[in-house]
C-alpha cells in the first residue's frame, strides 16, 4: 500500500510541468504564481491528460530492477513483464530476459485469464462492473489532480540542456507558500521539491526529479514515507505527439505500523504498442490466442 501511495506522489508530481510550461521560456523570466501564457498552459494541460489517457490503451514491456540499496551496482532481483491494459487496470504477465515467455503453458493461461477479464469489461457486466467503476473513479481523480497542480508550485527557470536533438528547459520546482491543499493527496505538494525539464518545441514533460522534504503520513497515519525519499522519471516521444515514460526510479524509506522498510526500484519501459480499450484489446488477445468467435469464453457465472 505504501508503495502505491508513493508512486501516486510521483505521478502527481509529473503533472506539475503543466504549470512550469505556462511560464515564459526566457532565462530572465521570474517565478510567478499565475500562468504567464494561458494558451500555452492550456495546451500543456491537454497534452498531459492525453498522455495519461494513452497509458490506459497501450501495452508495453517493463523491466523492474529491485536493489537493496540505492547505490548497489547490480540489482538483487530483476522482473520482466508484458503489461497489458485489462479495462480495470494493468495485467503483468511474466516474461524471460529476452522479452519472450519462459513457460508457454503459463503464458497462454495468463492470456486466457486476461481474455475473460476483457470480455467482462467490454460488456460492462458481471464481476468486473464494480472494478470498472472504481477504475473510472481513479481516472477522474487523476484528471482532477492534474488541474489541482495549477497553484501548488512556483517554478524558476534554471538552465537549458540538450538531450539528443531536443532542447529542454530546466526549472526549479518549489512549493507555493500560498497554496491551500484541499485533500490528503494535494497536501503532498507542500512536501516535494525538485526539478522539471520541458521540451521547448512541444511543451511536453521530458523529465522530472524530486525529493520529499518532510515526512509524509499515509494510511490513516499508520505509516510514513521519510524525508529524503527520491523519485525521477524520463519521458520520450514514442509516437508522434505522444510522450510516455521510458524510465522511472523510486528510492524511499519509511515505516508501516512498527516495521521499517526501504524500497529501491528502477523500471525501464519499452515496446509500447497500441492495443486499445477493452473491446479492441479483447479482439487482439483472441487473435493472439488463435480463437474464433465460436471458441470464445462463455458468459460470466456472476451474471446469473
Model confidence at 44, in pLDDT bands (50, 70, 90)?
Answer: low
Q: What pLDDT, on the 0 to 100 scale, is given for residue 108?
A: 96
Task: State the SS3 of the chain.
Answer: CHHHHHHHHHHHHHCCHHHHHCCCCCCCCCCCCCCCCHHHHHHHHHHHHHHHHHCCCEEEEEEEEEECCCCCCCCCEEEEEEEEECCCCEEEEEECCCCCCCCHHHHHHHHHHHHHHHHHHHHCCCCHHHHHHHHHHHHHHHHHHHHHHHHCEEEEEEEEEEECCEEEEEEEEEECCCCCCCCCCHHHHHHEEEEEEEECCCCEEEEEEEEECCCEEECCCCEEECCCCEEEEEEEEEECCEEEEEEEEEEEEEEECCEEEEEEEEEEEEEEEECCCHHHHHHHHHHHHCCCHHHCCCCCHHHC
Model confidence at 266, in pLDDT bands (50, 70, 90)?
Answer: very high
Q: Encode pLDDT of 141-153 as tens digits.
A: 777 676 666 677 7
Highest mean pLDDT range out of 6-10, 205-209, 295-299?
Answer: 205-209
Strand pairing class (204-212; 216-218): unpaired
Q: What is the pTM of this model?
A: 0.81
Q: Does 1 score more than 90 pLDDT? A: no
Q: Encode pLDDT of 67-77 as tens digits.
A: 999 899 999 99
Q: What pLDDT, on the 0 to 100 scale, is given for residue 252?
A: 87
In a domain, 301, yes or no: no
Backbone torsions φ then ψ of 78, nearest 5 degrees: -125, 130
Q: What pLDDT, on the 0 to 100 scale, is given for residue 279?
A: 94
In a domain, 266, yes or no: yes
In a domain, 304, yes or no: no
Count of domains forming the chain: 1
Round to whole Å and give the CA distance between 119 and 220.
Answer: 36
Q: Are 206 and 191 in contact (CB under 8 A)?
A: no
Q: What mean pLDDT do residues 183-197 have?
A: 84
Q: What mean pLDDT do residues 17-45 have?
A: 44
In a domain, 142, yes or no: yes
Model confidence at 219, in pLDDT bands (50, 70, 90)?
Answer: low
In a domain, 300, yes or no: no
Q: Does 270 score more than 90 pLDDT? A: yes
Q: Encode pLDDT of 101-134 as tens digits.
A: 999 999 999 999 999 999 988 886 666 677 777 7
Question: For 58-72, 181-195, 227-241, 246-260, which range has the lowest pLDDT when averaged over its residues?
Answer: 181-195
In a domain, 298, yes or no: no
Q: Does 6 score more than 70 pLDDT? A: no
CA dihedral 192, 189, 19, 161 (to 10 degrees): 10
Expressed as residue numbers, the domain containing 104 is 2-290
Q: What mean pLDDT do residues 226-244 have?
A: 93
Which among 144, 206, 136 has a CA at the least distance from the CA of 169? 206
Among residues of the chain, what percentage have pLDDT more than 90? 39
In a domain, 302, yes or no: no
Amino acid at each position: 500500500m505504501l508503495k502505491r501511495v508513493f508512486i501516486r506522489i510521483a505521478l502527481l508530481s509529473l503533472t506539475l510541468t503543466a504549470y512550469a510550461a505556462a511560464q515564459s521560456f526566457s532565462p530572465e523570466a521570474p517565478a510567478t504564481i499565475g500562468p504567464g501564457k494561458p494558451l500555452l498552459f492550456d495546451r500543456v494541460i491537454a497534452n498531459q491528460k492525453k498522455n495519461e489517457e494513452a497509458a490506459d490503451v497501450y501495452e508495453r514491456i517493463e523491466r523492474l530492477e529491485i536493489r537493496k540499496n540505492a547505490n548497489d551496482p547490480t540489482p538483487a532481483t530483476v522482473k520482466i513483464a508484458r503489461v497489458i491494459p485489462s479495462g480495470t487496470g494493468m495485467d503483468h504477465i511474466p516474461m524471460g530476459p529476452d522479452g519472450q515467455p519462459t513457460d508457454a503453458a503459463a503464458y497462454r493461461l495468463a492470456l486466457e485469464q486476461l481474455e475473460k477479464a476483457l470480455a467482462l469489461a467490454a460488456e460492462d457486466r458481471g464481476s468486473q462492473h464494480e472494478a470498472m467503476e472504481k477504475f473510472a473513479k481513479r481516472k477522474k481523480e487523476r484528471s482532477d489532480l492534474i488541474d489541482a497542480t495549477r497553484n501548488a508550485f512556483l517554478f524558476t527557470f534554471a538552465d537549458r540542456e540538450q538531450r539528443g536533438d531536443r532542447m529542454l528547459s530546466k526549472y526549479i520546482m518549489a512549493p507555493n507558500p500560498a497554496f491551500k491543499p484541499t485533500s490528503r493527496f494535494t497536501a503532498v505538494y507542500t512536501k516535494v521539491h525538485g526539478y522539471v525539464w520541458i521540451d521547448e518545441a512541444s511543451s511536453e514533460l521530458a523529465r522530472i526529479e524530486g525529493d520529499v522534504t518532510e515526512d509524509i503520513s499515509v494510511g490513516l497515519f499508520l505509516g510514513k514515507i521519510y524525508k529524503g525519499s527520491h523519485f525521477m522519471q524520463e519521458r520520450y516521444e514514442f509516437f508522434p505527439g505522444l510522450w510516455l515514460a521510458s524510465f522511472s526510479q523510486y528510492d524511499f524509506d519509511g515505516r508501516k505500523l512498527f516495521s521499517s522498510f526501504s524500497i529501491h526500484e528502477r523500471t525501464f519501459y519499452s515496446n509500447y504498442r497500441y492495443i486499445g480499450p477493452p473491446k479492441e484489446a479483447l479482439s487482439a488477445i483472441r487473435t493472439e490466442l488463435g480463437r474464433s468467435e465460436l471458441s470464445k469464453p462463455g458468459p460470466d457465472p456472476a451474471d446469473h
